[in-house]
Amino acid sequence: MSADIPPTMKAWTYSRAGPHRQVLSLNTIPSLKPPTGDQVLVKVAYSGLNYGDLKSMKMIPSIFRAKNSVPAMDWSGTILAVGPSAPPSLVVGMKVFGVLAMEAIFTGQGTLREYMCISTKKHMVAPVPDNCTMEEAGCIAIAATMAHLICKHAGIKEDCGLRILVNGASGGCGSGFIQAAVAMGAKEVIAICSAPNFELVQSLGATRAIDYRDKKPLHGYLAKEFGDRKIDVVVDTMGAQDLYTNSPKYLKEDGVFVNIGDYTSGTLLTAFYWLLNLFWPRWLGGTPRKFVMFGPDFGPDTVQWVQRMVGGGKMKAVIDRSVGFDQVLEVSTRREL
C-alpha cells in the first residue's frame, strides 16, 4: 500500500563530530521512496534524544558516518504505508514505536526527522500499547530494551529475589532498569543518584537511595554498608571502573557486575577497560568478579518482553523534557558529555 509522501521533509542533520549545539542544524532533505520488502513508512510523532545519541554525535569521527546524518534512535509514529513483505500485524494507520538498530548511527538514518522508512526485521517496530501516550512511547524503547538485555546477561529471572544495586539510577537506562528489577521480583533495589532524584527513584520502586556526591569514595561506603550482606548484581550505567575493581568488598563472590556505561574518561578507555575486565586473569591480579558488558543487540524475545513490560504498565517512561521539533538545540544532558 502506498501513501502520498511530500517531496521533501524537515530533519535535524550534522556532518561533523561535536557538541549538538554546534553541529546540529535543521534542514530540508529529500523525502523517501515508498516502502519495499519488509519496510514500513512512518510519520514520526516523537523522537527520543538520549545521552548516547549526543555522545556518539560528539565522539564518532565523521569519516565513520554518512554525510548529513540524522541522530536519535528512540521513536514513535504512525504507519503511512507498508512494504509487500512487512508483517501483516503492522497496518496503515497503526500507532507504533521502537528503537533503531545500532547501524543507524553509522548510516545516519536516525529518527529526528518527519518521516522514516525502516526495515521491520532490522529495527524494533511494535504497536503502541493502549496505556501509553505517543510521547511516552517515543522515549521508552531504548531504556526498556537495555533493561531486558541487562536481565538476560546478568541471569535475572522472574521472581529472582535478588539484592540489586544500580549506579546512575536516575538516568534513562537506570530508571528503566529499576522498574524491570522490581518487576522481576528483586528483594532490594539500591539506587545511586543525586539526592534531588531520590523521590524519583523511590517512586519507581527503589528500596533505598544513596547520594554519590555525599559518599566518597562510593566504593568505600558500599564496602562498609554491604560488606557483611553482599549484593547479587551491580548494574553500572556510568562506567565507574573503581566500582568494579573494588566490587569484591560489596558484591558476592558469585555475583555479576554489569556495565553499560561509557567510561567517563573517554571512548578509548572504555574499550581498554572492557578488554581488561574481561581478560585480565584473576591469578595475575584481575578483579575476582564476573564482568559483563554488551551492545544493544536485540531480537524478537527482547521486543516481546518490552511490549509485555510497557503494555502491562510495569515500565513507564521518565521524561526529562519535551520540546517542539524546532527547539531541539534547547535539550541538554544531565551529565557531562
Ligand X SMILES: NC(=O)c1ccc[n+]([C@@H]2O[C@H](COP(=O)([O-])OP(=O)(O)OC[C@H]3O[C@@H](n4cnc5c(N)ncnc54)[C@H](OP(=O)(O)O)[C@@H]3O)[C@@H](O)[C@H]2O)c1
Please state the length of the chain.
337
Strand 8-13 and strand 74-82: the pairing is: unpaired
For the chain, the helix, strand and coil percentages under 3-state DSSP, each to the nearest 5:
35, 25, 45
Q: DSSP labels for 209-274?
A: EEETTTSSSHHHHHHHHHTTS-EEEEEESS--HHHHHTGGGTEEEEEEEEE-SPPTT-HHHHHHHH
Q: What's the min distance (Å) between Cβ of 79 and ligand X? A: 26
Coil/strand/helix, residue 45 = strand
Binding residue for ligand X, selected from 48, 127, 174, 255, defined by CB under 6 A:
174
- Contact call for residues 70 and 111 (beta carbons, < 8 A): yes
Q: What's the min distance (Å) between Cβ of 212 and ligand X? A: 4
DSSP letter assigned to residue 38: T
Binding residue for ligand X, selected from 41, 172, 181, 210, defined by CB under 6 A:
172
Segment contacting ligand X by CB under 6 A, of 26-34, 36-44, 128-136, 170-178: 170-178
By CB under 6 A, residue 167 contacts ligand X: yes
- Name the residue nearer to ligand X (CB basis): 93 or 295: 295
Q: What's the min distance (Å) between Cβ of 334 and ligand X? A: 4
List the x/- string, 185-224, binding to ligand X by CB under 6 A: -------xxx--x--------------x------------
Binding residue for ligand X, selected from 173, 183, 209, 234, defined by CB under 6 A:
173
- Contact call for residues 190 and 164 (beta carbons, < 8 A): yes
By CB under 6 A, residue 50 contacts ligand X: yes
Binding residue for ligand X, selected from 214, 332, 335, 337, defined by CB under 6 A:
335
CA distances from 231 to 113, 253, 257 (A): 43, 9, 10
- Name the residue nearer to ligand X (CB basis): 35 or 171: 171
- Name the residue nearer to ligand X (CB basis): 79 or 317: 317
By CB under 6 A, residue 51 contacts ligand X: yes
By CB under 6 A, residue 179 contacts ligand X: no
By CB under 6 A, residue 273 contacts ligand X: no
Provide the H-helix boundaries in 43-171.
51-59, 103-107, 134-137, 141-154
Q: What's the min distance (Å) between Cβ of 6 and ligand X? A: 32
By CB under 6 A, residue 241 contacts ligand X: no
CA distances from 250 to 40, 231, 256 (A): 48, 6, 11
List the x/- string, 57-86, binding to ligand X by CB under 6 A: ------------------------------
Q: What's the min distance (Å) between Cβ of 226 and ligand X? A: 17
By CB under 6 A, residue 237 contacts ligand X: yes
Range list of β-strands (E), 3-135: 8-13, 25-30, 39-48, 74-82, 95-99, 115-119, 126-127
Binding residue for ligand X, selected from 34, 205, 286, 296, defined by CB under 6 A:
296
CA distance 284 to 172: 36
CA distance 335 to 121: 34
Segment contacting ligand X by CB under 6 A, of 19-27, 57-65, 78-86, 163-171: 163-171
Binding residues for ligand X, rule CB under 6 A, total 28
| C-alpha cell of residue 208 | 533505598
CA distances from 44 to 77, 93, 135, 148 (A): 4, 12, 11, 25
- Name the residue nearer to ligand X (CB basis): 116 or 142: 142
- Name the residue nearer to ligand X (CB basis): 100 or 116: 100
- Using CB under 6 A, list all residues that contact ligand X: 50-52, 55, 142, 146, 167-168, 170-174, 192-194, 197, 212, 237-238, 260-262, 295-296, 333-335
